[in-house]
Amino acid sequence: MSMTQQAGPAVDRPPASGPKDKDGRTARRPLALRLLARPEVGVFLGAVAVLVFFLIAAPTVRQGSSMATVLYQSSTIGIMALPVALLMIGGEFDLSSGVAVITSALTASMLSYQLTVNVWTGVVVALIVSLAIGAFNGWMVVRTGLPSFLVTLGTFLILQGVNLAVTKLITGNVATDDISDMDGFDQAKKIFASSFDVGGVQVKITVVWWLVFAALATWVLLRTKYGNWIFAVGGNKDSARAVGVPVNFTKITLFMLVGFGAWFIGMHNLFSFNTVQSGEGVGQELIYIAAAVIGGCLLTGGAGSAIGPVFGAFMFGMVQQGIVYANWNPDWFKAFLGVMLLGAVLINLWVQRTATRR
């Protein structure tokens, strides 16, 4: 919302010459059209379209509790999609984000269990490990100048192997041991994986965190110096450096933010399922990236928002659950998912094109 306000002031300047205005090029376009031209508004309408579609097609979706399930699914994608989107605006990719979630959960779980310590110790160490992985990715990217696609493909494979091998080495199994009876578990579960009652509907706490993080990310992106740096390094790295933006710092911290997101979702996984399977998480990175791209972040960097990926993740969660609520033939599940997403993205594109046409 605040982004549209920013666009406003430019038009307030006094008209320099009357006749020029009449050719329409500098005329102020209607507010509605300017709104629609924003990528996050397009994806918002796409998400609404999907929601309305399933409200009609699947009666169960109309229940409050079903919406809570959809929002839960969306939030576990959305929390990761936020830092992934910021990173993408900053011009980089992170393919290791999916398995990094599992790395974090495994770290916390195994450390707590093997040393028989309060689970909070594991949680804190996992945060350090996750941030370190992010910092490593960022450092490698800025140091070598290699595309982040390659660097994080490397970390993706490394973490996949490490997750499995270390788990097997330490626990003797490929899944971690149940930590639900250990000290601090209930407390951590309250923060990462509890649910609360809203008018008789159980809402998962991740939904709240998701919205809080989204608000925070929007604020950072639009109202802080750091936010400007993100746009600058993603738009043109060299110009950004020339005007004094700390490019390396910005990129490394962006990767670390992804690490933070991975830690958060990792803790959610751990405290809601008590154990972690070491082979999970593969393929999730593409879903996070997809949610960010659907949300209007450019694959090339320099443009996007934090609010767009929120709707992008919602669209993903809605379609995934909606197909089940609508009770369509499950053999077609993946195909439906693809068609619905493509359709939603096309609506998004069409809205933007129509709105920007003169």
Partner 1 sequence: MDRSSRPRSRGLAPVVAMAAAAALTLAGCSSSSGGKKAEEGAANASAGKADTPRMTVALVTHQAPGDTFWDTVRKGAEAAAAKDNVKLVYSADPNAGNQANWVQNAIDQKVDGIAVTLAKPDAMKGVIAKAQQAGIPVVGLNSGLSDWKQLGLLEFFGQDESVAGEAFGKKLNTTGAKKIVCVIQEQGNVGLTQRCDGVKKTFEGTTDILYVNGTDMPSVKSTITAKLKQDNSIDTVVTLGAPFALTATQSVGDAGSKAKVATFDLNKDLVKAVKNGTIEFAVDQQPYLQGYLAVDSLWLYENNGNYSGGGEQPVLTGPAFVDKSNVGKVAEFAAKGTR
CB 321 within 8 A of CB 69: yes
Cβ closest to partner 1, residue 18 vs residue 283:
283
For the record, the structure tokens of 16 come out as 């320099």
Rounded to the nearest whole angstrom, what is the least distance from the CB of residue 11 to partner 1 in the complex?
45
Cβ closest to partner 1, residue 90 vs residue 266:
266
Q: Which among 169, 107, 168, 113 is positioned nearest to 133, based on CA atoms?
A: 107
Rounded to the nearest whole angstrom, what is the least distance from the CB of residue 285 to partner 1 in the complex?
11
Cβ closest to partner 1, residue 276 vs residue 351:
276
CA distances from 339 to 150, 199, 211 (A): 30, 34, 27
Angle between helices 205-223 and 225-235 (to 10 degrees): 80
Cβ closest to partner 1, residue 35 vs residue 166:
166
Residue 12 is given by DSSP the state: G
CB 263 within 8 A of CB 154: no
For the record, the structure tokens of 330 come out as 């499950």
CB 280 within 8 A of CB 174: no
**DSSP H or E run through 34:** helix 31-36
Cβ closest to partner 1, residue 3 vs residue 166:
166
Q: Which among 306, 284, 308 is positioned nearest to 295, based on CA atoms?
A: 308
The binding site for partner 1 (CB under 8 A) comprises: 58, 60, 63, 65-66, 69-70, 72-73, 76, 112-121, 160, 163-164, 167-168, 172-175, 177-184, 195, 202, 268-269, 272-275, 277-284, 317, 320-321, 324-327, 330-331, 333-334
Rounded to the nearest whole angstrom, what is the least distance from the CB of residue 204 to partner 1 in the complex?
9
Angle between helices 119-144 and 247-273 (to 10 degrees): 150
Single-letter amino acid, residue 320: Q
For the record, the structure tokens of 94 come out as 């992170």
Cβ closest to partner 1, residue 15 vs residue 161:
161
Q: How many CB atoms lie within 10 A of CB 142?
A: 21
Cβ closest to partner 1, residue 172 vs residue 244:
172
CA 109, CA 267: separation in Å to the nearest integer?
Answer: 9
